[in-house]
Structure 1
Amino acid sequence: MKIIQRPSPNFNERKAPLDMLVLHYTGMETGDAALERMCDEEASVSAHYMIRECGEVVQLVAEDKRAWHAGVSRWQGDEDLNSRSIGIEIVNGGHDWPDDDGALPAYPDAQIDAVIALSKAIIERWSIPQTRIVGHSDIAPARKKDPGEHFPWKRLSEHAIGFWPSVVEPSSAPLAASLMAIGYDVEDGHAAICAFQRRWRPSGVTGAPDPDTVNIAAAVAYLYSVG
């Protein structure tokens, strides 16, 4: 995998062990605009990598450094997730730059192939647990929607990048308990449910604790407990 270097000045030293992978979409009109922003010292944002629609991988920050991509976030009780994670920005307009028909823009196959290859290499290099592979919306549900309900998490799971339940059975487990067992901050319950649905029940991001969401959350929580 060829990686193009475009160093960003926006990084510092880590303050915790690296044990997470965070996936984002850029949410900007173009990849060039996103790259320019992440290399702008005044913007004070960055990620370790950016992946263009064609699958080109650009590295902005060395993996052992702390890039500034997660913001105020929380997962499984941990904070300062910038110190704990590698961030990958995936070029996609997302909710802010939808297609002309209002649909969320697709992630091209070449781009997702590159996401899979890079993620697998990072996970192996740093021994990142499956339970610590997240989207930005997972760790900041009240603020973020990326990488969005159109992101193919199930496809990634087929390459050992995150969990996807193969069996979902009726469950009486409280939804909040399942979400907390997975790692969500449930202070804003509606936002946490939406974030969960974006990842594991993308056909309906309603924030409602419907039976389908309850059952899937229980199945995911079980995978996290044994995973």
Structure 2
Amino acid sequence: MSITQGYWAPARRVLSPNHNARPAGEVSALVLHSISLPPGVFSGDAIERLFTNRLDPQAHPYFAQVAGLRVSAHLLIRRDGEAVQFVPFERRAWHAGRSRWFDGMAWRAELNDFAIGIELEGDEQSPYRAAQYATLSRVVRDLLTHYPALTPERITSHARIAPLRKTDPGPAFDWAYFRQCLGQFL
């Protein structure tokens, strides 16, 4: 099993303090995000610094706007496909913010309570890389196996759960290709 004690075995761990207990312990949805720091710049350690509250607001003009945020995600998938895990899946990461989603039966709010958050290093204009889709498909396969309430239909985007605030992972994310990659593992 690739998930043990809330951690995905292939991921490098960089622990974030930005998490707390899930109210009901439920894991039943997955939210895909995109992130680049500064915007449009890939690589470097700024994302890790943001999620661990160590981002230097003086290092770049944009950082002054976000350095004080207390945010996290469960996983980050880098451009080369490397996975970095910040929060165990059983804990509530702080990735969705104010959010709302129709899960097929009812409207639910506060997706952090029951969703896993995966950040893809990227932006909404630059195509995501094959290595990212491959890693994403592998981790999602393992999550679907480990969490029975999580199904492929319960994978969504930040844009769908917070449409007035967010647009990620954006039009550069190829949902059809992702589902094709994921299908190879199911």
Task: Decide: shared fold, TM above 0.5.
Answer: yes
Q: Tell whether the 8 Å contact from 2:42 to 2:79 is kept in structure 1 after alignment.
A: no
Q: Which of 75, 81, 89 is 1:63 aligned to?
A: 89
- TM-score in terms of structure 1 length: 0.63
Which consecutive segments of 4 or more residues in structure 1 shift more than 6 A? none
1:131, CA displacement in angstroms? 2.5
- TM-score in terms of structure 2 length: 0.77
Counterparts of 1:53 and 1:35, CA distance in 2: 14
1:152 paired to 2:174? yes
Counterpart of 1:46 in structure 2 is 72
Counterpart of 1:35 in structure 2 is 48
Q: Tell whether the 8 Å contact from 1:4 to 1:59 is kept in structure 2 after alignment.
A: yes
- Structure 2 unaligned spans of 5+: 1-8, 55-67
Counterparts of 2:17 and 2:142, CA distance in 1: 24
Counterparts of 2:78 and 2:130, CA distance in 1: 11
1:130, CA displacement in angstroms? 2.6
- Structure 1 unaligned spans of 5+: 95-103, 162-227
Which of 1 and 2 has higher RCO (CA within 8 Å, sep 6+)? 2
Structure showing the higher helix proportion among its residues: 1
Q: Deviations over 1:6-57 (max 9, x none)?
A: 0000000001321000110014333421221111174210000001001100
The aligned runs of 1:1-227 (5 Å cut-off) are 2-16=10-24, 17-28=26-37, 29-31=41-43, 32-40=45-53, 42-76=68-102, 77-94=107-124, 104-127=125-148, 128-158=150-180, 159-160=182-183
Q: Tell whether the 8 Å contact from 1:11 to 1:61 is kept in structure 2 after alignment.
A: yes
Counterparts of 2:144 and 2:118, CA distance in 1: 12
Counterparts of 1:107 and 1:66, CA distance in 2: 26
Structure showing the higher strand proportion among its residues: 2
Higher CA-based Rg: 1
Q: Tell whether the 8 Å contact from 1:52 to 1:91 is kept in structure 2 after alignment.
A: yes
1:160, CA displacement in angstroms? 4.2
Counterpart of 1:203 in structure 2 is none
Q: Tell whether the 8 Å contact from 1:23 to 1:135 is kept in structure 2 after alignment.
A: yes
Corresponding pairs, count: 152
